[in-house]
Amino acid sequence: MNQGIDITLKVWRQKGPGDKGGFEAYHAGNISTDMSFLEMIDVVNEQLTRDGKDPIAFDHDCREGICGMCGAVVNGRPHGPEKGTTLCQLHMRHFSSGDTLVIEPWRARAFPVIKDLVVDRSGFDQIIIAGGYISVNTGGAPDANAIPVAQEVAERAMDAAACIGCGACVAACPNASAMLFVGAKISQLALLPHGRPEAARRALAMVRKMDALCFGNCSNERECEAECPKEISIANIARMNREFFKAGLFSATR
């Protein structure tokens, strides 16, 4: 029979973007180690609701580790202590009875807090809108294989495309940089022949939008790579820098 654990939560509570926030402590008793982290918060919220208190607001959707909606910092680690794992896929068996878990939202100027653990990550959407797409007519489904792509190249593009846009890279970076996210989105298209016609415009537009939104710059700390739940490589940042530099030279000579 599964033995439940008793833990203490110190959760960041903030009513709104303009309100002053702070940590509040909650006891979570007899928590099944088979629960996911978000299921544990659901249990705590059920008790808060029964007590007539405001439940903890947090983002979630698929709870399968593929949508990027979930995200909080647990004891100083975005998505918690397990490598290559989203918060919704983190299970309570990785914690022990008597543990104290400090839970707080992503901390970044570009990700303002909406309420409690929920932050506004629409900055990522604006970066994608700026150029993270291919605008040519690609034809029907059979046409997708009309241009041969080397397996190694396709695999690198797919590795970059694994980014779910959760924002853990921004939360982990001491500069709140979004360069791993932007690098992955630029790389997944720049590596493929389908994305090359717009590569220069894409790199300039996405990087400039990132800077305009007040994300920080990369200083090669590598926290982003370490905390990314999809283990996106910082090699994508190097590729983004090359694409941006080449695009700048090309535009300057026109």
Q: Kindly state the average pLDDT of the residues 236-251.
A: 92
What secondary structure letter does DSSP report for 225?
A: H
* Parent domain of 91: 5-115
Residue percentage of the chain with pLDDT more than 70: 96
> Which residues lie below 8 Å from residue 88, measured CB to CB, with a gap of 6+?
36, 37, 38, 60, 62, 63, 64, 65, 70
pLDDT of res. 242: 96
pLDDT digits (tens, 9 = 90+) for 26-45: 999 999 999 999 999 999 99
**CB proximity list for 1: less than 8 A, separation 6 or greater:** none
Residues in CB range of 192: below 8 A, 6 or more apart: 149, 153, 154, 157
> Are 215 and 157 within one domain?
yes
196 and 83 part of one domain: no
Query: Does 133 share its domain with 245?
Result: yes
Residue range 154-205, pLDDT digits in tens? 999 999 999 999 999 999 999 999 999 999 999 999 999 989 999 999 999 9
> What is the CATH number for 221?
1.10.1060.10
pTM: 0.93
Q: Domain tally for the chain? A: 2
Contact 94, 80 (CB under 8 A): yes
**Residues 174 and 64 placed together within one structural domain of the fold:** no
> Which CATH number belongs to the domain containing residue 46 in this structure?
3.10.20.30
- Band (pLDDT 50/70/90 cuts) for residue 74 is very high
Q: Select from 95, 115, 135 the last residue of a domain.
A: 115
| Helix, strand, coil in percent for the chain, rounding step 5 | 40, 15, 45
Q: Does residue 214 sit in the same domain as residue 169?
A: yes
Distances from the Cα of 238 to the Cα of 80, 91, 241, angstroms: 27, 34, 5
Residues 108 and 185 in one domain: no
Question: Is 250 a residue whose pLDDT tops 80?
Answer: no
Alpha carbon 5 to chain centroid distance? 29
Give 104's strand partners: 73
Residues 110 and 138 in one domain: no
- In this structure, the answer to whether residues 157 and 59 fall within a common structural domain is no
Residues 19-31: what's their mean pLDDT?
97
pLDDT tens profile 46-65: 999 999 999 999 999 999 99
